Every structure is written in C-alpha cells, then in structure tokens.
Structure 1
Amino acid sequence: MITLEHINLVVDDIPATLEFYGSAFPHWKIRAEGDGDWYGKPRHWLHFGDDYQYLALSDHGEGSNRDLEGHQVGLAHFAFVVDNLDALIERLEQAGFAIAKDGADSPFRKNIYFIDPAGFEVEFVEYLTDIPTQRNA
C-alpha cells in the first residue's frame, strides 16, 4: 500500500494558513518547527498534521499562486478524504472561509472545493461507497 505522507507548501502567512487547516482538521497539531535558510533567504517552517500525515509549511513565499482558472503549469489542487463533509464545511465557514466551488453531482461521493489563504485549491471528499469502481466513476 502507498500513502501520501506530506505536502510541502511555500506560503507567505503561516498563521493564516494554520487557521484554515486547523479549522478543517481540529485534531491536527504542530509536530515540529524551526528556522532556517533556503538558498539565501531566511524562513520559518513547521509541520502541521497528525502522526501519519502532515503539511510542511514554510513562510518564505513571494508573489502569487498560479491562476486557478488559467492554464499555467503548476499545482491545480490536492484533495483530502474526510468522514463527514458537512461538518468540515461548517467548521470552515464558521472560521470565515467560503466555498470556492461545488463538486460533482454523484451518488457515490460528496465533494467541495475551498481556496486556502495561500491560494491553493483544496478539495475535500466524502465517499458514500466502498466500491472502488463507483468511487472512481
């Protein structure tokens, strides 16, 4: 079995990013953090997650993220599977984050998209079936 351990995101505001992901995943915590240098530029970094998966965040970002409606090369979005999508949406909206776009209409899953404070599109998916062919339809 293969699992994704972490995603490394360069952002410009770690506290704002932590507010978003902390609202989405209230059981996650800061696992480690420190300061360093990245090719001549100082940065603060931290790992935010649980014992199995995490986001590696660094605060030395410059400029804007790619235009999500454009055609530039780069990250389009990443997704997390959740057990209760409605509860996650409620937590994010209570924290002031708006849904960016609705997901597909499917009898086998519910999904929704948010844009995090750094401009990354994040999909959250709740599967309504355990049958892989239905999940992937």
Structure 2
Amino acid sequence: MDSLVIGAIASLGAGLATVVGALPILLPINLTQRVQGIMLGFGAGVMLAATSFSLILPGTEAAIAQGASKPYAALTIVIGILLPLTIKSKDKNMNFIRFEHINLSCKNIDDSRNFYQTLFPDWYVRAEGVFNGRRWMHLGDRQFYFALNDENNQERVHNAYENIGINHVGFVIKDGETMKKRLEDKGIEYYTMSAAETKHRIYVNDPDGNEIELVEYNQNYALK
C-alpha cells in the first residue's frame, strides 16, 4: 500500500479517535473533582509521552544523523524547551492569577461553616487556629476559600444596597434546582430573580446577613 494512503488512513483514524474522546462532554454527567483530576492527569501523561516519543527523541536522532554529537543534540533540545520561559509578556493583566479568598467576620464561626457547607458540600476546612484569642478558619476548596473570623462581640455595620460596600458575592453553580431543594430541606430562606442569560439566580443570606448569589447560566450563554 502506498505510504501516502497509509498516512491518510492513520490521520483519519487519529481524528476519529479525537472526536470519540470528546463525545462524553455532551453527556449530562457531573464528575467529582477527584475523577476530573485523574482524567486531567492521564491526559497530561499522554501529552508528555507524545512530546517525548514523537518530538524530542526523533529530533535528537535527526540531529545526530546530520553529524551532531549526542551532547550537542541534547543541549539543542534543552535550549528549545527553556527558551520560551525567558520571554516576558508585556501584558500587565498576566499578573492576575485567580481570585483566592474573602475574609469574613462572623458572630458564630461554626454557624457560618455549617451554612456554607450546605451550599457547597465539597468545601472543607483547609486550616484553622486561634490568633489573639479568637478562632479563625479557612473554609473552601483547592481554588477558593472564605477566611472566617470568630468576632462574637462585634455588630454588623454595613447594610447591603444601602451603604457603600459589597452588596453580594456571586458563585456559578451547576444545578439550580438541586440547590433550591437543598436550601428548602435545611429551612434556609431564599429569593430568586430572572435574566435572559441565566437559568437560575438564587439569593440567600448567610447567618451574618451577607448576601450570596448562586447562578446557573444557560448552556448557550457565551460568557459563562
């Protein structure tokens, strides 16, 4: 069989495999963070293997075949890998990595923890301790957390939508119906609003009166 035909068949097979591998994204499946981590790790391993066996090793062999010594060929590959790391971006927005945490003062830190774990059952206590005689706790996940401070002697001053300050904090969720049922099961009051781009907009106050917005976007909303 002609090598051109073989190459075309191999390319077609690889393309079909990519399509088949992407099909599960269309299924309504909610994967846990652990499963997502395993899948991402596997995908990263495949790409590293492809980089090694399909790029680095053939490139080294080609350099040697053209008369370069093994150390020189290896050095060329290393320089090629490290060179992009020396290029500095002129985009100052690259300094922002992610939104990490919000610091909250609480009347009762345990009540606040129970409330937020009702909203987000996968959140856990990342760290906790005592500082200057008051309890503190970092509650969240690997990407974001609330820094809760037990201030049972303080009173709330800011009123949302009436004073200058934060009115609410918004979180994007996967399933608004499930969230509403969870709130109702716990006896937590909420109200809803509607917008063209969202399927659910749920508003609820934590034990200290901080308003939380829970948003489920429509599937066809481009900026979600």
TM-score, length of structure 2 as denominator length = 0.53
Counterpart CA distance in 2 for 1:45 and 1:96 is 27
Counterpart CA distance in 1 for 2:120 and 2:104 is 17
SS at match of 2:208: coil
The one-letter code sitting in structure 1 at the alignment partner of 2:159 is D
SS at match of 2:174: coil
Q: Structure 1 19/65 Cα, relative in aligned 2: closer, same or farther at 3 Å? A: farther
Residue 95 (1) aligns with residue 186 (2): yes
Counterpart CA distance in 2 for 1:89 and 1:68 is 22
Counterpart CA distance in 1 for 2:137 and 2:151 is 12
The one-letter code sitting in structure 1 at the alignment partner of 2:99 is L
Residue correspondences, number? 126
CA drift of 1:66 comes to 2.0
CA drift of 1:2 comes to 4.2
Counterpart CA distance in 2 for 1:18 and 1:65 is 21
Residue 8 (1) aligns with residue 68 (2): no
Counterpart CA distance in 1 for 2:97 and 2:211 is 23
Aligned match for 1:68, one of 160, 163, 187:
160
The one-letter code sitting in structure 2 at the alignment partner of 1:13 is N
Structure 2 stretches of 5 or more lacking a match? 1-95
The one-letter code sitting in structure 1 at the alignment partner of 2:118 is S
SS at match of 1:57: strand
Counterpart CA distance in 1 for 2:97 and 2:130 is 30
The one-letter code sitting in structure 2 at the alignment partner of 1:21 is Y
**Residues 20 and 92, structure 1, Cα contact 8 Å, conserved in 2:** no
Aligned match for 2:207, one of 93, 113, 117:
117
SS at match of 2:111: helix
CA drift of 1:112 comes to 1.2
Q: Structure 1 90/2 Cα, relative in aligned 2: closer, same or farther at 3 Å? A: farther
Give the aligned partner of residue 23 of structure 1.
Answer: 118
CA drift of 1:51 comes to 1.2
Mark the structure with the bigger radius of gyration: 2
Deviations 1:74-106 (A, max 9, x none): 22111111111111121122112110x322x22
Structure 1 stretches of 5 or more lacking a match? none
CA RMSD of aligned residues (A): 1.7
Structure number with the higher strand fraction is 1
CA drift of 1:126 comes to 0.6
**Residues 65 and 119, structure 1, Cα contact 8 Å, conserved in 2:** no
| Stretches (4+) displaced over 6 A | none
TM-score, length of structure 1 as denominator length = 0.83
Counterpart CA distance in 1 for 2:175 and 2:97 is 23
* Identity within the alignment, %: 34
Give the aligned partner of residue 196 of structure 2.
Answer: 107
